[in-house]
Chain A
Amino acid sequence: MPDNTEKRCVVVMWSEENQSLVSYTLDVEKVLAVTERLFPLELPLADYGNTIDDEFARRFGSATLNLLAITNPELKPYLKVSQPPGAQ
Chain B
Amino acid sequence: MHYGGYRYTMELASGYRMGSPFDPDPQKKAAADAGRAMLDAVYPDVWERNAERVKRVEDFLVASFPYYRKGNAHHTLDALRRAVRNGDMYVVEREPEYRGGFAAAHSRQESSFWGVDDYGEAPLEKEPWPDVPDTSTADWDIWHDANNQAMMHAAVRAAPALFLPMCAKAGWISRYGVPDLSEGFAETGSTPLGDAQPFEMGEHMPSQSATDMAARGVSEGDEAECYLQYERDMAECRAYQSAMGGGRFMELCSQRAFMAYQQCRGY
B218 part of interface (Cβ distance < 8 Å): no
Size of the B side of the interface (Cβ < 8 Å), in residues, is 28
**How many of chain A's residues touch chain B, expressed as a range?**
20 to 34
Q: Which residue in A42, A70, A83, A86 is a CB contact (below 8 Å) of B243? A: A83
Q: Which residue of B lies closest to A41 (CB)?
A: B240
Chain B residues with CB below 8 A from A81, complex form: 243
Q: Which residue in A60, A65, A69 is a CB contact (below 8 Å) of B244? A: A60
A63 part of interface (Cβ distance < 8 Å): yes
B260 part of interface (Cβ distance < 8 Å): yes
Contact: A66 with B248, CB < 8 Å? no
- State the Cβ distance, B230 to closest chain A Cβ, in Å: 10
Chain A residues with CB below 8 A from B242, complex form: 63, 66, 83
Contact: B245 with A88, CB < 8 Å? yes
B135 part of interface (Cβ distance < 8 Å): yes
Which secondary structure dominates where chain B touches chain A? helix
Contact: B236 with A86, CB < 8 Å? no
- State the Cβ distance, B142 to closest chain A Cβ, in Å: 15
Q: Which residue in A43, A60, A67, A87 is a CB contact (below 8 Å) of B246? A: A87
A 37-67 binary contact with B (CB < 8 Å = 1; else 0): 0011111100100000000000110110111
Chain B residues with CB below 8 A from A84, complex form: 132, 243, 245
B 226-259 binary contact with A (CB < 8 Å = 1; else 0): 0000001101110110111111110011001100
A76 part of interface (Cβ distance < 8 Å): yes
Contact: A67 with B240, CB < 8 Å? yes
Contact: A86 with B134, CB < 8 Å? yes
Query: Which residues between 119 and 136 of chain B lie within 8 Å of chain A, taking CB atoms?
Result: 128-130, 132-136
Contact: A42 with B136, CB < 8 Å? no
Chain A residues with CB below 8 A from B260, complex form: 39
Contact: A66 with B243, CB < 8 Å? yes
5 inter-chain pairs at a CB distance below 8 angstroms, sorted by A residue, are A39-B256, A41-B240, A59-B243, A66-B239, A84-B243
A interface with B by C-beta (< 8 Å): 39-44, 47, 59-60, 62-63, 65-67, 69-70, 73, 76, 81, 83-88
6 closest A-B pairs by beta carbon, nearest first, are A87-B245, A62-B243, A63-B243, A66-B239, A88-B136, A63-B240
Q: A47-B247, A63-B244 are in contact. List 12 more A-B contacts (CB 8 A).
A: A43-B244, A66-B243, A69-B128, A76-B128, A83-B132, A85-B132, A86-B135, A87-B136, A87-B243, A87-B244, A87-B245, A88-B245
